[in-house]
Structure 1
Amino acid sequence: MAPNATDDSTTAGETDDLRVGRRKAVRYVVPVTVIGVAAATIGLVPALADSGDPDLPKITAQQLLDKIAASDVQQLSGTVKISTDLGLPDLGGLESGLLSGAAGGGDGSSADPSVKLTELASGTHTLRVAADGPDRQKLSLLENAAEYSIVHNGKDVWGYDSSSNEVYHSTTDESAKDGAETPVPATPKDLTEDALKAVDDTTSVTVDGTVHVAGRDAYKLLIKPKQSGSTVGAISVAVDAKTGMPLKFTLTPASGGAAVVDAGFTQVTFAAPAASTFDFTPPKGAKVTEGDDAEATPGHSGASGASDEKLEGLGGLTGAEEAEGFDVLGKGWTSVAVLETGGEGVPSDAELNSELGSDAGGALSGFLGSFGDKVSGKFGSGTVFSTRLINALVTDDGTVYVGAVTKDALVKAADSAK
């Protein structure tokens, strides 16, 4: 779903205010957006592989890519687990609020998908998924006896948070062919499609044997950047031998260690779910927020949670040259997006305290300082904010460089722009 367009009745002054607010938000939120953008790469913990690899007919990498492209699974239901290890500092719960702010939640509904699903940026979670064609999908996040669900049924998209008894409602374009979108990729198929957007002459693609996933036989597709400087080491995709649908997605960092993103079904069937699966009526007493009424905060754009000022998925992270709304340096896996924040770099402690209040300012200041490194070069000086996958350089004059590249690659990109 596309971002809400600016109403034609908006005055020039109001438009300027929105732009100023957006630049200010970028200034304060960009370091946090290292998490928010990384949230677009969340994945699902793989099911434990069955013992013994299946004996399947030989297949080439191109044939396997063609099999994925031809896959047309319309009906399924299953259970997945989510685990993401971005290597973020322990903020004692502060990160949840920061993530909501980065997603543009602000004072909006806790049932807004663009707010709620940012929780998947860290830790381990359990999901249930169901689909019956392009007009009916459901995704449920199960957490500590509570449940959050997104239900798409025809033109209606509902988000429901049982812990707060809040409902978020929006509608899809009747002519849309791809059904409802969530703010982040939430299945191995979503993640694989994003990753394959980056496959070009900077990428090595091979078949790496076979595997059992969720009781099904699968081929393993291995995707590796040929370029140095990317934080992505390799992406492994288990592709269902019968349907061609990705069943498992694993992204390992170039730095080694545990996977940053692991994606896989623990259970899956390809029968049509019961029609009642996609029924939803707001519970009695629930607070209902309509998507069109949601607060137009920077980075928040109604039902989809999308924004023209945000990289979208792995396709943006590993192939930023295709991202809209950014200047882009480089090509392929080492491409770097460039943002302008209006001439101001990372705010000082005093500015944070003034803008956010002493408690909030101090907490955010500690957050920024906990994983920022000062750097300098031809571009001047700035601070690099790092995770195991996404890095961002915020210069003192307010330019931001962000990508799935190393700190040295970011500095080199910033120097090349001068």
Structure 2
Amino acid sequence: MAPYEPEQDTSETGEPRVGRRKAARYVVPIAVAGVAAATIGLVPALATSGDPDLPKISAQQLIEKIAASDTQQLSGNVKISTDLGLPSVGGLAGGFAGGGGSGGDGGEQGKGSAADPKSKLMELASGTHTLRVAADGPDKQKVSVLEDAAEYSLIHNGDDVWAYDSASNEAYHAKDAGAGAGEHRGKGADKGAKGSDEVPATPKDFAEQALKAVDDTTSVKVDGTAQVAGRDAYRLVVKPKQSGSTIGQITVAVDAETGTPLKFTLTPASGGAAVVDAGFTKVDFGKPAASTFDFTPPKGAKVTEADDAERGAHLKGKDQGGKAFKEDAAGGLDGLNVIGKGWNSVAELKLPGGKGLPTAGSGDVPPDAQKLLDSLGDRVSGKFGTGTVFSTRLINALVTDDGKVYVGAVTKDALVKAASR
């Protein structure tokens, strides 16, 4: 059996995926960026109980098995970790999305609910989280994010989507699956309650995004077997053939019986711990109890209706000029240009207003703040003029002084070269 990269420790979780459609528009639309978009990374090594002896299968056959997988019912735990080398962005992301933190005053006051999925689930973009998931067909899903002394749950049951944050005793309600928390798309209960184009949160979500990048710039092979969450699995390894990518390889453990991805690991070309590691630690493909998807707000809980929350966010944005900013930003992203192909794709777009980062010279920021900003990035120059490159373990972004942005899962040198084309 061919050697394979050690699995990273996963030990608890479930399967969800909720988020805000618009939040995803700020994620780089690169071929493999579904992986990057995210912005999700996971934990250390998952112990396996030996390599099961399974029938031989080709990479093409295994990919077809994943595509044909139509798991309608399941429950279990998922541990998901993201290590982009950045601090937690949950609260910050929520602020940009228009959501609020604990103790918000509700939609009519222009403040979001602490239970609003738009902001809450963005916390999965960094650190390590344990999820408990359950699904029963396309109309019933539940995902719970387990915290030290609290729990956040997102429940989709028919036309109702409920989110509840036990820490603040706040609930968020949307009357239909498309109104805020999770519009179902595609077949298979394993897709969970989700919006279209949000941050991936389960092994299958990640695997689907990664396999979209498979083309003649990609090496794909079956590299051994493993056991994940007590299930026999094949190990599919996907690597870029091109030089210049920050992605080393992607390993997907695929359930031998159902074709459901059980674990996803993305390691950077620079080596070290995985950038993203998401895997089941426990999974059951039986039908969950019907009561799993029932929800009634606890006594005394503050309930925010999705329509009220959106109305409050609109008023807040109007008062602060936020609406105009969001419209400009959306327009800029809609007109983005993609440079290159495959794993070396780079997204090019313009900042709202056509201006670069504020500088001390322009009087927009204090000198001390300028020093801090400069310390976070590297100054570069090329045919594009001058700008600053900001780096994570997976994504590099170049912001030029004239207001253009180049982003990709490529090295700094490859990014500067693309911008200087």
Band of TM-score, shorter chain: 0.7 to 0.9
The alpha-carbon deviation at position 172 of structure 1 amounts to 2.0
Letter in 2 for 1:381: T
Q: Which residue of 2 aligns with 1:75?
A: 73
Provide the identity percentage: 70
The alpha-carbon deviation at position 4 of structure 1 amounts to 8.5
Match among 225, 235, 258 for residue 210 of structure 1 = 225
Structure 1 window deviating more from structure 2 (146-155 vs 281-290): it is 281-290
Tell me how far apart the structure 2 counterparts of residues 154 and 256 of structure 1 sit (CA, whole Å): 44
Tell me how far apart the structure 2 counterparts of residues 3 and 98 of structure 1 sit (CA, whole Å): 14
The alpha-carbon deviation at position 231 of structure 1 amounts to 1.0
Tell me how far apart the structure 2 counterparts of residues 2 and 125 of structure 1 sit (CA, whole Å): 16
Residues 133-144 of structure 1 mapped to structure 2, 5 A cutoff: 133-144=137-148
TM-score, normalised on structure 2? 0.77
Q: Which residue of 1 aligns with 2:403?
A: 398
Q: Which residue of 2 aligns with 1:337?
A: 347
Contact 2:234 2:253 in 1 (8 A): yes
Distance 1:128 1:206, change over 3 A: same
Structure 1 window deviating more from structure 2 (188-197 vs 39-48): it is 39-48
Distance 1:130 1:43, change over 3 A: farther
How many residue pairs match? The answer is 362
Contact 1:43 1:191 in 2 (8 A): no
Contact 2:40 2:201 in 1 (8 A): yes
Residues 2-401 of structure 1 mapped to structure 2, 5 A cutoff: 38=36, 40-43=38-41, 45=43, 48-88=46-86, 95-105=89-99, 107-170=111-174, 171-173=176-178, 177-178=185-186, 180-181=193-194, 183-293=198-308, 294=310, 295-296=313-314, 309=330, 325-341=335-351, 342-348=353-359, 350-352=363-365, 368-401=373-406
Gaps of 5+ in 2: 1-17, 101-110, 187-191
Contact 1:308 1:325 in 2 (8 A): no
Distance 1:368 1:141, change over 3 A: farther
Tell me how far apart the structure 2 counterparts of residues 117 and 50 of structure 1 sit (CA, whole Å): 29
The alpha-carbon deviation at position 75 of structure 1 amounts to 0.5
Contact 1:36 1:103 in 2 (8 A): no
Contact 2:133 2:143 in 1 (8 A): yes
Letter in 2 for 1:387: T
The alpha-carbon deviation at position 368 of structure 1 amounts to 4.0
SS at match of 1:159: strand
Structure 1 window deviating more from structure 2 (176-185 vs 262-271): it is 176-185
Tell me how far apart the structure 1 counterparts of residues 160 and 223 of structure 2 sit (CA, whole Å): 41
Letter in 2 for 1:392: A
TM-score, normalised on structure 1? 0.78
SS at match of 2:420: helix
Gaps of 5+ in 1: 6-21, 302-306, 312-322, 354-360
